[in-house]
Structure 1
């Protein structure tokens, strides 16, 4: 997967679904948790987005606040999940 593409897709997800198409100051280091842009419901919806978009299941050990701090940490988590093996 291309990191820049994943970052853009995650940003587009947040801009469209979480921030109601307002992204004036949203960059990859915007503190999503600290600024209240993301909560447990948003995390559940983001995990569903990751599954639908990339075919990845977020493992339980990745379901920690540090992973959802900003777009960069979310993108990094997506990049670290192994792609599913197709038989």
Structure 2
């Protein structure tokens, strides 16, 4: 999963802003087998928190945190998540 997330982030042009929900949505649409096989049976919220922590591992190397975002999650409800800028 970590390598797939890194690949997704690396495909984002430098200077552009994205949030954790965007990465999760991209995983669901384009890498659903990896998304599903990495699921550990906990709640969606906990699993997406784990994905968020994987994204955060790239902080200060290929991304920087720029605060929080209020965007649609996979349930099509607005919720808070981390916002990032590609370095």
Q: Which structure is higher in strand share?
A: 2
TM superposition score normalised by structure 2: 0.32
Of structures 1 and 2, the one scoring higher in RCO (CA 8 A, sep 6+) is 2
Q: Which structure is higher in helix share?
A: 1
